[in-house]
């Protein structure tokens, strides 16, 4: 039996005969020789068929195999300095597993709507594979950070009876006879979990019926939400900067081939070291006004404002202490200045905008009750959340990081849609 291996391990088999299982990415041929570019998900390798060395049927199979047909190739591995993988394989036999005719996603340029319609095939290309690989590594780096820092993973529900981040963007569904909503954020559940386990985090899909068609918005996106008991606003920011720099470092160390495929300027990532600059909302407004932007105190930032501020730095920048009036109901007001909240948004460099939103949470029962009334939220639905302030309430903080925006930034993508294997967007539910 020939040893079966994958392209990423091919270097261990120089001079030996192995079997690779994959798909045909591309092909070049002359009358005497055929170069098959094989991909198997772990990498790409050139396999060479020589007419004089193969039975006629085998050679013609190599000549006729079509793009994205699946095949098993057996042959001898050799080092090849000119090839990108550093290796090449001479074909001794080939078996077509599944024929592909008229593969739609050819190697020429396609329009984005066509590609999105064929997303199930588009993800086979080197660029899309690299993005998905980096996304996976980012999740791994996050998990590693949490494990190394005493966090426990807790999974909040997807089907919820109430809203967390405001009622206008909820996805409604029926829960038998009751009304239910797809989760916008697991935060409130994570606050309960933090009171049980101290430091917790969640990772999972969240849903926002936002009518925003921008390059930063998805309808379904993944959020990672840590929550920490006895942690203040200032400590929350320290965790965030360590977390982000750990992720970037992990990707730089483990994904150099993928970053190369994406033609990512890695110097933009190597500068992402702690501490990150901190700017108050007040300072940000003043800076924007000095730099010719029309914005006044009390207004929220738009994408151009965020891009302008971020462009002044070579690493992510915190904007902290936003006006309480424009932020979520659960945010702790600054004791010295209750008109601003102990919160921060983290803006990614290079115009990628807000990737993290976080805050210290209100821990005082009466103040939280007052906020529910001001925001006209139905108290009966939130009694369990108020219980957290009735029974051993403590100062606590947390944040939510958008996975697709983080992937888009680290990979240097034009649009967040490429950061998801099957993006859900305003006018797209398929495939």
Decide whether 146 or 221 has the Cβ nearer to ligand 4AD.
221
Decide whether 119 or 405 has the Cβ nearer to ligand 4AD.
405
Strand 220-229 and strand 396-402: the pairing is: antiparallel
Binding partner at 310 among ligand 4AD, Mg ion, none, C-beta below 5 to 8 Å by kind: none
Locate 260 and state its tokens. 């190369």
Q: Which of the ranges 236-244, 273-281, 354-362, 368-376 carries the binding residues for Mg ion, by CB under 5 A?
A: 354-362
Least distance to Mg ion from the beta carbon of 125, Å?
32
Q: Which of the ranges 192-200, 232-240, 251-259, 349-357 carries the binding residues for Mg ion, by CB under 5 A?
A: 349-357
Least distance to ligand 4AD from the beta carbon of 398, Å?
5
> Using the rule CB under 5 A, which residue among 43, 75, 353, 357 binds Mg ion?
357
Decide whether 69 or 187 has the Cβ nearer to ligand 4AD.
187
Binding partner at 400 among ligand 4AD, Mg ion, none, C-beta below 5 to 8 Å by kind: ligand 4AD
Count of positions on this chain that bind Mg ion (CB under 5 A) = 1
Binding partner at 88 among Mg ion, ligand 4AD, none, C-beta below 5 to 8 Å by kind: none
The residues of the shown chain that bind ligand 4AD, judged by CB under 6 A, are 164-165, 185, 187, 208, 210, 217-218, 221, 223, 225, 354-358, 398-400, 402, 404-405, 416
Least distance to ligand 4AD from the beta carbon of 336, Å?
22
Least distance to ligand 4AD from the beta carbon of 406, Å?
7
Rounded-to-integer distance, Cα 49 and Cα 102, Å: 23
Q: Which of the ranges 92-100, 102-110, 192-200, 356-364 carries the binding residues for Mg ion, by CB under 5 A?
A: 356-364
Q: Is 333 exposed, middle or buried (0-12, 13-18, 19+ CB in 10 A)?
A: buried
Decide whether 38 or 228 has the Cβ nearer to ligand 4AD.
228
Decide whether 75 or 358 has the Cβ nearer to ligand 4AD.
358
Locate 427 and state its tokens. 């006018």
Least distance to ligand 4AD from the beta carbon of 402, Å?
2
Decide whether 69 or 185 has the Cβ nearer to ligand 4AD.
185
- Return left, alpha or beta for 311; rule: phi > 0 is left, psi -120 to 50 is alpha, else beta: alpha
Reduce the secondary structure of the chain to three states and give it as a string. Answer: CCEEECHHHHHHHECCEEEEEEEEEEEEECCCEEEEEEECCCCEEEEEEEHHHCCHHHHHHHHHCCCCCEEEEEEEEEECCCCCCCEEEEEEEEEEEECCCCCCCCCCCCCHHHHHHCHHHHCCCHHHHHHHHHHHHHHHHHHHHHHHCCCEECCCCCEECCCCCCCCCCEEEEECCEEEEECCCCHHHHHHHHHHHCEEEEEEEEECCCCCCCCCCCCEEEEEEEEEECCCHHHHHHHHHHHHHHHHHHHHHHCHHHHHHCCCCCHHHHCCCCCCCEEEHHHHHHHHHHCCCCCCCCCCCCHHHHHHHHCCCCCCEEEECCEHHHCCCCECEECCEEEEECEEEEEECCCCEEEEEEEEECCCHHHHHHHHHHCCCCHHHHHHHHHHHHCCCCCEEEEEEEHHHHHHHHHCCCCHHHHCCCCEECCECCC
Decide whether 355 or 368 has the Cβ nearer to ligand 4AD.
355
Decide whether 187 or 332 has the Cβ nearer to ligand 4AD.
187
Binding partner at 210 among Mg ion, ligand 4AD, none, C-beta below 5 to 8 Å by kind: ligand 4AD
Least distance to ligand 4AD from the beta carbon of 182, Å?
13
Decide whether 357 or 395 has the Cβ nearer to Mg ion.
357
Least distance to ligand 4AD from the beta carbon of 394, Å?
17
Least distance to Mg ion from the beta carbon of 66, Å?
47
Least distance to ligand 4AD from the beta carbon of 343, Å?
9
Interaction site with Mg ion (CB under 5 A)? 357
């Amino acid at each position: 039996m020939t040893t079966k291996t994958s392209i990423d391990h091919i270097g261990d088999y120089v001079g030996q005969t192995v079997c690779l299982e994959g798909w045909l990415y591309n092909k070049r041929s002359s009358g005497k020789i055929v170069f098959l570019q094989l991909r198997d998900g772990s990498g790409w390798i050139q396999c060479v068929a020589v007419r004089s060395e193969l039975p006629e049927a085998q050679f013609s199979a190599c000549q006729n195999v079509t793009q994205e047909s699946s095949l098993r190739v057996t042959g001898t591995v050799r080092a090849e300095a000119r090839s990108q993988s550093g290796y090449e394989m001479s074909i001794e036999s080939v078996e077509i597993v599944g024929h592909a005719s008229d593969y739609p996603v050819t190697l020429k340029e396609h329009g984005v709507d066509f590609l999105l319609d064929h997303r199930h095939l588009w993800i086979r290309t080197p660029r899309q594979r690299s993005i998905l690989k980096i996304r996976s590594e980012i999740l791994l780096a996050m998990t590693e950070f949490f494990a190394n820092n005493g966090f426990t993973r807790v999974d909040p529900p997807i089907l919820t009876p109430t809203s967390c981040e405001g009622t206008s963007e909820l996805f409604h569904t029926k829960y038998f006879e009751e009304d239910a909503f797809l989760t916008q954020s697991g935060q409130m559940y994570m606050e309960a979990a933090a009171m049980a386990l101290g430091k917790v985090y969640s990772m999972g899909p969240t849903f926002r019926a936002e009518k925003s068609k921008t390059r930063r918005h998805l309808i379904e996106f993944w959020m990672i939400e840590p929550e920490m008991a006895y942690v203040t606003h200032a400590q929350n920011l320290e965790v965030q900067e360590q977390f982000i720099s750990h992720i970037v470092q992990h990707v730089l160390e483990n994904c150099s081939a993928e970053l190369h495929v994406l033609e990512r300027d890695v110097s933009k990532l190597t500068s992402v070291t702690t501490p990150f600059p901190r700017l108050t909302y007040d300072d940000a407004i003043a800076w924007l006004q000095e730099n010719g932007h029309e914005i006044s105190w009390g207004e929220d930032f738009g994408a151009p404002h965020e891009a302008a501020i971020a462009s002044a730095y070579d690493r992510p920048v915190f904007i902290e202490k936003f006006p309480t009036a424009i932020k979520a109901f659960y945010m702790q007001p600054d004791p010295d200045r209750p008109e601003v909240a102990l919160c921060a948004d983290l803006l990614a460099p290079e115009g990628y905008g807000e990737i993290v939103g976080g805050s210290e949470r209100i821990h005082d029962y009466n103040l939280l009750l007052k906020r529910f009334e001001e925001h006209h939220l139905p108290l009966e639905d939130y009694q369990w959340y108020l219980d957290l302030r009735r029974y051993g309430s403590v100062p606590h903080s947390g944040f939510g990081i958008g996975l697709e925006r983080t992937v888009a930034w680290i990979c240097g993508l034009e649009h967040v849609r490429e950061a998801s294997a099957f993006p859900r967007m305003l006018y797209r539910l398929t495939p």
